[in-house]
Amino acid sequence: MPSIAPLCERFFRTAVLKRDWRSAQAQFRALEPLFNFFRRRGALPSLKALAAIEGLDLGGTRAPIQPLGAADLKELRSHLERAAQMEVFEHAA
């Protein structure tokens, strides 16, 4: 399972099921750079790249959608690592 899935699930449970707005806001702030990256670079190539990082092959993209380049992959990994670190810190607090 891609490592973004538990982060999004925890955010959903906190915001919708528990209605813990303060924690949900902190979790959203941790995920927001990833969401902004998806908006800028495209959700489909970004999510396929995240899956590939985790070892899950979802296949390539079809034209006109292009896969992410090396710089984008580096940025995506960085956003994911930061989101996971911030989310773990907020979850422990």
pLDDT bracket for residue 60 (50, 70, 90)? confident
| Predicted local distance difference test score (pLDDT) of residue 80 | 92
Proportion of the chain in helix, strand, coil states, percent, rounded to 5: 75, 0, 25
Residue 47 pLDDT exceeds 60: yes
Residue 42 pLDDT exceeds 60: yes
Number of domains in the chain: 1
Contact predicate 43/49, CB 8 Å: no
Looking at residues 6-10, what average pLDDT do you find? Answer: 92
Residue 91 pLDDT exceeds 60: no
Residue with tokens 């396929």: 48
Range of the domain at 29: 4-92
| Predicted local distance difference test score (pLDDT) of residue 87 | 58
Residue 90 pLDDT exceeds 70: no
Q: What angle do CA 11, 73, 3 make, to 5 degrees?
A: 30
Looking at residues 57-64, what average pLDDT do you find? Answer: 90
